[in-house]
Structure 1
């Protein structure tokens, strides 16, 4: 690839803390525009368009403005109450004025389904750039890409671009980029929260507290310490590694990881040295090459890998059968990595003591999704939330700025994207993270 550095995702940089620059952009608007200036640069009037929540800019003097399509969730009253809620349609990542200053029309909408009759389908047809989010994914399918001849760039506001058909994007030379590293801390913290909610039977205790009950034994019989447990991660990249780091504070017995490549020696040394310092124990981290072997040893398994053809449906009934009876499974990666019905049945039967996470194989999840109602006989096996792990207000500020940086690289025609942000470019995969590049 001409425009992508060879230092894409190497063992030495893929787990390191991102250094996304944070700055604010202000625009000086000319309040006394002359008639001639107005003719040269048309006034842009926001207007409501179509079904669902959608906004556009309407050029008065020019109808050939290039288009950016942005698909975000609706913030409603929450957007008014919290201006830092940048990831919603009302606040548009805080970059509407920036996009318009580059001569582009911005159309933002929540109306993404069904294909092919949604507002996304209508507006994508002549869009040059589409901005989507993993938290309310607009699926940029092969057919949608085929019907968008002007499309050049697909940007994910966040991390995880599996909602884009990457093979189709490659064939059409559409660049796909995301804001790598923008929410790794946020997700790692959510993983730790979910582990503790399950292992300490927080839900059982909380339920009694709000229901006016007081049955200590009913909670304590399913409550454990995280100390001296074997914890493993499927995927030891930027998020998985940070989970391993945070686990050390709880003095686990062993930390295992399953990944397509070894952690760098320096990363392994850091974990082992920290364990010795904090817990007075020897080497703690170990790579396991066979997934069945790893899950069979683990008290807690956490999934921190991307969704691709090799990981879709990975945790099914067969793999779960290799897990310890009463183990816990945490998934903040992608819902489709697990077979929903198989997980729900494992929780109900007690094979899994609990399952938790924030990602669903359908988003928004239907009301009858099995993960909404799954539980065990003691009602302490479900630690699901909506998809929020990577969209804290801090993370939103980072990925909003990251989207702006990606757009600036495109608008300037430099195409000097951060290498770690590029998923596909110039018809080639830029990373093995999605399972394609060898």
Structure 2
């Protein structure tokens, strides 16, 4: 089998082994592939693996040998799944490989909003502590999480991992979850309506998939339902948030802070409103990218290909 990886660098910048895929066929790896290079590079491939390089209907029409697309991620919106199905092309993804890592960054971002450890470290290194008249000083309010309420929008695998970490800090956790009645409890998390979650939460953390129903679920009217002291965290999908509305809420003091690992356009333009918003922490879509998570991703992607070659595909979408 001829296997082509279109954009392997993000998954494996050199700290992992491609051997699990190499043993399955003739493997060609490209670090990055531009839109104009896709057809040329994938023309002779029966199996194509892609992380963020899109495979739309017009592209698929030019790849007659293609039998299988493996998405090196959980989200698969970069693939025209309908067009692939019409051509008999199997599409798979890799679910749940990064749940613990994403939950970990969620809490890291929350702790940074509470303590601004990086800002205080920079201050010390700039000589501010050495010049201080006192043994201790703080540049921002310092916030204890115990007794606070975290509201999780989307209590799936990542949401549950995040809930466990929040509970370990002494937080009460409430959540929204499709297909669970309001008022029920799951893993010590009470299921509530969105309006109640926004009203009660000291921290709102997004962990729901991007769907027509959830796109821009965070916008002016929902931000206005949050406490002025509340934080918003997004480690899920950028388009869950109307970003100009969030920037306005931060700059006007209608919420206290935000931490965002994902944006609607990645990478963003230099004039993106959140890059200049008050008390807004931005990280470059790194929640999924621990070495441990990427190793699981690569192993599962290889297992997906193995199952396909055996005639029993798994993780199909």
- Report the TM-score, using the length of structure 1 for normalisation: 0.64
Q: Which has the larger radius of gyration?
A: 1
Verify: 1:219 aligned to 2:219, yes or no: no
Question: Which of structure 1's runs of 4+ aligned residues deviate more than 6 A?
Answer: none
SS across alignment from 2:59 = helix
Give the Å deviation of 1:239: 0.5
Give the Å deviation of 1:315: 1.4
Verify: 1:94 aligned to 2:30, yes or no: no
Find the counterpart in structure 2 of residue 210 from structure 1: 125
SS across alignment from 2:143 = coil
CA distance in 1, matches of 2:163, 2:41: 43
Give the Å deviation of 1:393: 0.9
Find the counterpart in structure 1 of residue 28 from structure 2: 106
- Unaligned stretches of 5+ in structure 2? none
CA displacement, residues 202-239 of structure 1 (integer Å, 9 cap, x when unaligned): 3442342233325866524x321111111111111110
Match of 1:127 among 45, 51, 56: 45
Instruction: Note the aligned Cα RMSD (angstroms).
Output: 2.7
CA distance in 1, matches of 2:58, 2:217: 26
Aligned pairs for 1:56-95 (under 5 A) are 66-73=2-9, 87-88=11-12, 94-95=17-18
Find the counterpart in structure 1 of residue 176 from structure 2: 258
- Unaligned stretches of 5+ in structure 1? 1-64, 75-86, 273-284, 425-438
SS across alignment from 1:154 = strand
Is the contact made by 2:149 and 2:200 (CA closer than 8 Å) also made in structure 1?
yes
Verify: 1:165 aligned to 2:85, yes or no: no
**Alpha carbons of structure 1 residues 127 and 370: separation in structure 2 relative to 1, 3 Å:** farther
CA distance in 1, matches of 2:248, 2:40: 40
Aligned pairs for 1:376-387 (under 5 A) are 376=278, 381-387=279-285
CA distance in 2, matches of 1:261, 1:204: 42
CA distance in 1, matches of 2:102, 2:109: 10
CA displacement, residues 16-37 of structure 1 (integer Å, 9 cap, x when unaligned): xxxxxxxxxxxxxxxxxxxxxx
Find the counterpart in structure 2 of residue 77 from structure 1: none
Aligned pairs for 1:28-39 (under 5 A) are none
CA distance in 2, matches of 1:226, 1:401: 36
Give the Å deviation of 1:386: 1.2
SS across alignment from 1:401 = helix
Give the Å deviation of 1:175: 2.6
Find the counterpart in structure 1 of residue 276 from structure 2: 374
Find the counterpart in structure 1 of residue 254 from structure 2: 351
Is the contact made by 1:347 and 1:374 (CA closer than 8 Å) also made in structure 2?
no
Give the Å deviation of 1:314: 2.0
Aligned pairs for 1:29-428 (under 5 A) are 66-73=2-9, 87-88=11-12, 94-95=17-18, 99=21, 101-112=23-34, 115=35, 117=36, 119-133=37-51, 137-214=52-129, 219-220=139-140, 222-252=141-171, 254-262=172-180, 268=186, 271-272=187-188, 285-289=189-193, 291-371=194-274, 373-376=275-278, 381-415=279-313, 417=314, 421-422=315-316, 424=317
CA distance in 2, matches of 1:321, 1:143: 43
**Alpha carbons of structure 1 residues 98 and 301: separation in structure 2 relative to 1, 3 Å:** closer
CA distance in 2, matches of 1:149, 1:100: 23
